[in-house]
Amino acid sequence: MTRTERMQRVLLGAATELVEARRHDSDTAEEWDALERAITAAEESVDPSYAFDGGQFIRRSAYADGLERVDAVDVEDVDIVAQTIEEDADPHGNGWFVVDELVDPSGRTWTRCLVAVECMKRLGMLRERPLDNRLSKADGFSADAAIAAFRRDAGLPAV
């Protein structure tokens, strides 16, 4: 099975789960987040790459038509998303959250929140269950620790 076929299957599965949840008036941020992730992955021709560059954390995506999309977060974005995680994450009271639940309280787009989350995962601040994309704080997580790690890895001076 090709990557495209696999991603289309994931997209169809996420859409089906959302439709079923909506039928029972029980859709949550978790289903919407899964659909957003599936759409993003299905649009890309290869898995995205991530790297620090010029004081930012960059997500590069390639598409079948040859276009490239670059999404970046800076220290301010990571600070706001990390503070949101510290203050507002865990709406279920069981230690986990999804990217979609960070959008409104942070005032950032879903994609910007996703890139900030990917950054914090690579910095060891967050963990993600691959099965359902549920996120949780790693031991020692704090907004201050996330910012210090971002500044270190981005080559920015410590504050």
Tens-digit pLDDT profile for residues 86-127: 987 666 677 889 999 999 999 999 999 999 999 999 999 999
Please give the Cα distance from 139 to 80 (Å, whole number).
Answer: 20
Answer whether residue 96 is part of any domain: yes
Looking at the fold, whether 118 and 98 belong to one and the same domain comes out as: yes
Is 12's pLDDT higher than 90?
no
Which pTM does this prediction carry? 0.80
* Among the ranges given (33-37, 108-112, 143-147), the one the predictor scored with the smallest mean pLDDT: 33-37
Looking at the fold, whether 39 and 59 belong to one and the same domain comes out as: no
Please give the distance of CA 35 from its chain centroid, rounded to a whole number.
13
Looking at the fold, whether 25 and 71 belong to one and the same domain comes out as: no
Do 93 and 101 contact (CB within 8 A), yes or no? no
**Domains of the chain: total:** 2
Residue 13 structural domain: 1-43
Structure tokens at 71: 């999404």
Q: What pLDDT is attached to residue 117?
A: 97
Please give the Cα distance from 44 to 61 (Å, whole number).
Answer: 6
Looking at the fold, whether 80 and 94 belong to one and the same domain comes out as: yes
Phi, psi of 83 (to 5 degrees): -65, -40
Answer whether residue 159 is part of any domain: no
Is 65's pLDDT higher than 70?
yes
Structure tokens at 7: 């991603």
Structure tokens at 50: 């991530």
Answer whether residue 36 is part of any domain: yes
118: Cβ–Cβ under 8 A, 6 or more apart, which residues? 50, 57, 59
Categorize the per-residue pLDDT at 141 as very low, low, confident or very high, splitting at 50, 70 and 90.
Answer: very high
Looking at the fold, whether 111 and 38 belong to one and the same domain comes out as: no
Looking at the fold, whether 58 and 107 belong to one and the same domain comes out as: yes
